[in-house]
């Protein structure tokens, strides 16, 4: 049978010599490669001193946006949750009560909005599906943690703080 490509190498089946059985040529060849790499420029970033540059299309943590008056943009339409292939977004809508016009833009708002960052694949579909530009992905990455519960971000964690409001620690 003829090979499909020319990449096939014939196997040498003759017995190994004494020098080959000691593997000295192979060890010397490996050490030569190692010493060659010692004197080359290192491809490492010293993290605290230097920051790595990300691609312009990098997608990081989610943020819920506010308009210029500080009102929430999210109208709880659910398109972000439907478009999420990992089903990481859950939300519950509620009706705006009289006197809450300064908090929400529309009559309907997201009473509960959660993103499970352990399930999220950072695809950006939620950002593309949102008709109100309420959610977008920033250039910060998810911090490490020891508890699974801390990776479920609620609405308070995702909302941009109102002007003059300090972020909770």
pLDDT at res. 168: 55
Residue 16 within a domain: no
Q: Mean pLDDT, the chain, as a whole number?
A: 87
Residue 113 within a domain: yes
- With a CB cutoff of 8 Å and minimum separation 6, the contacts of 121 are 85, 86, 88
pLDDT at res. 45: 83
pLDDT at res. 61: 92
Residues 77-87: what's their mean pLDDT? Answer: 93
Residues 76-92: what's their mean pLDDT? Answer: 93
Residues 9-13: what's their mean pLDDT? Answer: 85
Residues 91-110: what's their mean pLDDT? Answer: 87
Q: How many CB atoms lie within 10 A of CB 120?
A: 22
Tell me the C-alpha distance between 149 and 9, whole Å. Answer: 54
83 marked among binding-site residues: no
Q: 58 by DSSP, 3-state: which?
A: coil
Residue 137 per-residue DSSP state: E
Of the ranges 28-32, 97-101, 140-144, the best mean pLDDT one: 28-32
pLDDT at res. 140: 86
Residue 35 within a domain: no
Residue 140 within a domain: yes
pLDDT at res. 54: 83
Contact 44, 140 (CB under 8 A): no
Digit-coded pLDDT (tens) for 150-165 = 999 999 999 988 766 6
Residue 32 within a domain: no
pLDDT at res. 80: 93
Residue 97 within a domain: yes
pLDDT at res. 1: 59
Residue 153 within a domain: yes
77 marked among binding-site residues: yes
The tokens describing 132, both together, are 């109100």
Digit-coded pLDDT (tens) for 38-66 = 888 888 888 888 888 888 888 999 999 98
pLDDT at res. 36: 92
84 marked among binding-site residues: yes
> Which domain range does residue 135 map to?
62-158
* Angle 142-146-147 from CA coordinates, rounded to 5°: 90
123 marked among binding-site residues: yes
CATH of the domain at 148: 3.30.70.3270
Contact 113, 154 (CB under 8 A): yes
pLDDT at res. 151: 93
Q: What pTM was computed for the model?
A: 0.66
130 marked among binding-site residues: yes
Residue 144 within a domain: yes
- The domain total for the chain is 1
pLDDT greater at residue 142 or residue 33: 33
* pLDDT of 2 above 80: no
80 marked among binding-site residues: yes
């Amino acid at each position: 049978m003829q090979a499909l490509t020319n990449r096939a190498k014939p196997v040498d089946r003759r017995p190994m010599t004494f020098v080959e059985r000691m593997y000295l040529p192979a060890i010397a060849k490996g050490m030569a490669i190692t010493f060659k790499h010692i004197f080359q420029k290192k491809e490492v970033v010293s993290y605290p001193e230097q920051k790595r540059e990300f691609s312009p299309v990098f997608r990081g943590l989610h943020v819920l946006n506010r308009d210029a008056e500080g009102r929430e943009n999210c109208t709880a339409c659910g398109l972000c949750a439907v478009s999420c292939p990992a089903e990481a977004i859950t939300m519950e809508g509620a009706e705006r009560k009289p006197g809450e016009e300064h908090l929400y833009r529309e009559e309907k708002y997201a009473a509960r909005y959660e993103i499970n960052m352990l399930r999220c694949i950072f695809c950006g579909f939620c950002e593309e599906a949102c008709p109100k530009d309420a959610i977008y992905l920033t250039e910060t990455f998810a911090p490490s943690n020891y508890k699974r519960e801390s990776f479920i971000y609620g609405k308070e964690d995702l909302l941009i703080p109102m002007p003059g409001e300090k972020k909770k620690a």
